[in-house]
Structure 1
Amino acid sequence: MTNIKKVSELAGVSTATVSRALKNPELVTEQTREKVMKAVQKAGYRPNWLATSVKTGKSNSIVVLVPNLVNPFFMRIIEGIEQAAQEKGYSVLLGDTQGKASRENEYASMVLTNRADGLIQLDHSFPFSQNDAELAETVPMVSVCERIEGEKRYPFIELDNYAAGRALTHHLISYGHRSFGIIAGQLTSQIHHDRLAGIQSVFKEEGIEFDQSMLVGGSYRIETGIEGVQELLRREQRPTAIFCFNDDIAIGALYELKRHGLRIPDDISVTGFDNVKVSAYMDPPLTTVDQPAYEMGRRAVEVLIQQINRQPLQRTREILPFQLLERGSTGPVKS
């Protein structure tokens, strides 16, 4: 069996450095970590995590709760989680909860019964049952994208959704748009509140009145985009631009607008959010906000393992940067 000494020779570092890079990669430089991981792959080295697990009493597993596994945005986050977890010697247990509390409770209880060491939540709900809530107070847990409702004790990794909402609104107003529709996702989530607040803040600055009839939707599905367009087109004043709170919603919206014979962006502009891969290949390509989903996943693992190892966190809120990608689905308002 290939041993750690062979890896150290291939990487040109000491065996102690190899051990640090595998068990605590945050203690070595990125360049060193990359050299060690390449050497590990080349040598075919497999660290004996099982022996470590028996010695420490840890499972070396983490649970990731996903509200919808078919959502491509979540899959990008999971890719980052998987890579970072593998590098740190952890396996990942995926729980597709479908947004159901009973499923969340079942998967979350794995941490309480020592079948997993920590939990990453990709939804905004508190995943433990009322009976387990007191026990869960000391559970290592991180939320990604969303913030867990009513909880301030758990760290979270997120985007500045307020600023992203403002950026999208400024973009559309720069094209002369003054009449808007908004197709939202989960209305109770912090993401929804932050994005909507960003949009409304620019409306206020520009003297555009926010009318509740502008806001439709309620889930992050393609069907929500279809139904949302149908509802918005029934308004007395048809919007010239539509905000969609994720790219799946936008895909449904584009489909339904075309079905009504409307041209995009000539008749109506559409924006998405997330920058899933297919968004660049839509007809027309979708203007959207790019979230660093892979990096969010990686960072979530790093923060979670700090909690598992009872290391102090420098901060409980981490905000990652976004990028507004202007593509063909937005353009000047029709005169």
Structure 2
Amino acid sequence: MTNIKKVSELAGVSTATVSRTLKSPGLVTEKTRDKVMKAVKEAGYRPNWLATSVKTGKSNSIVVLVPNLVNPFFMRIIEGIEQAAQERGYSVLLGDTQGKSQRENEYASMVLTNRADGLIQLDHSFPFSDNDAELAETIPMVSVCERIANRKYPFIELDNYAASRALAHHLISYGHSRFGIIAGQIESQIYRDRLAGIKSVLHEEGIAFDDSMLVGGSYRIETGVEGARQLAGREQPPTAVICFNDDIAIGALHEFKRLGLTVPGDISVTGFDNVRVSAYMDPPLTTIDQPAYEMGRRAFEVLLQMISRQPLNRTREILPFTLVERQSSGPAKS
């Protein structure tokens, strides 16, 4: 097996620096870290993490709680987490919770019993049971996308308020004034931020919003199908529909077309997330691109700082978004 000395020679640093980079990457510069990790890959070096875990009392594993593994957006986040974790010698244990608190409690307890060193939560809920809540305050945990209400854990997120404002401005620029919204989970911060962003733009433009045009309640394709059916049945249907993720938008596109409506001729549809399939829909979907892979990587890096007991510069990190305009949005029907 290639040893650490070979890695140090390839990277042009000491063996102590290689060891420090692998054990505590936050203690070395980004330039040094990149050189060492490139040398590790080139040399095919595999550190003896088992021996290290016996010495340090750490498992070199983390738990990632996912509300729905089928969701392609979550899978992109997990890709980022997995890659960053692999580079640091950590294993990733995935817990598909299906949004059920009991499942969350069971997976989260792995950190409390030292079977994992930290936890990344991709949902908005606090994953520990009431009995474990006090002890859990000391547990390294990071949330991605969502925020855990009334808790002080760090989180990585998008500026959902600004992103939804960008979508609303985009549609208004095409002359739309009757809007429908098919939302995700209504108890989450994402829901509140995105809805507030849309309504703020409508208010600024003097466009009234009819609350009966707000439907949905989950991030599933079926939510988009049912939401589209409801909106199309209104006495005055919307000319533009903003969906709170791409799965919802895909379901809505399917149902509007089944009902005989053209997109965007009769109705414009936008999504959120820019999952890979959104570019291949008929028509291709206008959406907000979230840097999901980078969100995952950054979540692990912050978690590793917490595991290593390093101070965090900030507890909230906001990553940039991009509005991707495709053919599912266009001029309002006169």
TM-score range, shorter chain: over 0.9
Listed one character per residue, the Cα deviations across residues 230-270 of structure 1 (whole Å, up to 9, x for unaligned) are 00011111100000000000000000011011111111100
**5+ long unaligned stretches in structure 1:** none
CA distance in 2, matches of 1:211, 1:334: 19
Is contact 2:21-2:28 (8 Å) kept? Answer: yes
Listed one character per residue, the Cα deviations across residues 35-58 of structure 1 (whole Å, up to 9, x for unaligned) are 333322232211011111111111
CA distance in 2, matches of 1:256, 1:264: 11
Deviation of 1:31 after TM superposition, in Å, equals 4.5
2:70 matched residue in structure 1: 70
Three-state SS of the structure 2 residue aligned to 1:134 is helix
One-letter code of the match for 1:35? K
**After the TM superposition, which of the residue ranges 8-17 and 324-333 deviates more from structure 2?**
8-17
Three-state SS of the structure 1 residue aligned to 2:119 is strand
Is contact 2:24-2:308 (8 Å) kept? Answer: no
One-letter code of the match for 1:332? P
1:2 matched residue in structure 2: 2
Deviation of 1:137 after TM superposition, in Å, equals 1.3
Is contact 2:232-2:256 (8 Å) kept? Answer: no
2:168 matched residue in structure 1: 169
CA distance in 2, matches of 1:113, 1:23: 22
Structure 2 residue 216 is the aligned partner of structure 1 residue 226: no
CA distance in 1, matches of 2:213, 2:29: 50
1:258 matched residue in structure 2: 257
CA distance in 1, matches of 2:293, 2:29: 20
Deviation of 1:282 after TM superposition, in Å, equals 0.8
**5+ long unaligned stretches in structure 2:** none
One-letter code of the match for 2:76? R
Structure 2 residue 158 is the aligned partner of structure 1 residue 140: no
Is contact 2:78-2:296 (8 Å) kept? Answer: yes
Structure 2 residue 328 is the aligned partner of structure 1 residue 329: yes
One-letter code of the match for 2:294? E
Three-state SS of the structure 1 residue aligned to 2:261 is coil
2:240 matched residue in structure 1: 241
1:116 matched residue in structure 2: 116
Listed one character per residue, the Cα deviations across residues 3-26 of structure 1 (whole Å, up to 9, x for unaligned) are 011112223333233223322333
The two structures have a TM-score, normalised by structure 1, of 0.97
User: Quick one: percent identity of the two aligned structures?
Assistant: 83
1:90 matched residue in structure 2: 90
Deviation of 1:283 after TM superposition, in Å, equals 0.9
Please report the RMSD computed on the Cα atoms of aligned residues, expressed in angstroms: 1.2
The two structures have a TM-score, normalised by structure 2, of 0.97
CA distance in 2, matches of 1:269, 1:27: 50
One-letter code of the match for 1:259? R
* Segments ≥4 residues shifted beyond 3 Å: 26-35
Deviation of 1:89 after TM superposition, in Å, equals 1.9
CA distance in 1, matches of 2:185, 2:134: 27
Three-state SS of the structure 1 residue aligned to 2:115 is coil
Deviation of 1:210 after TM superposition, in Å, equals 1.8
CA distance in 2, matches of 1:304, 1:69: 21
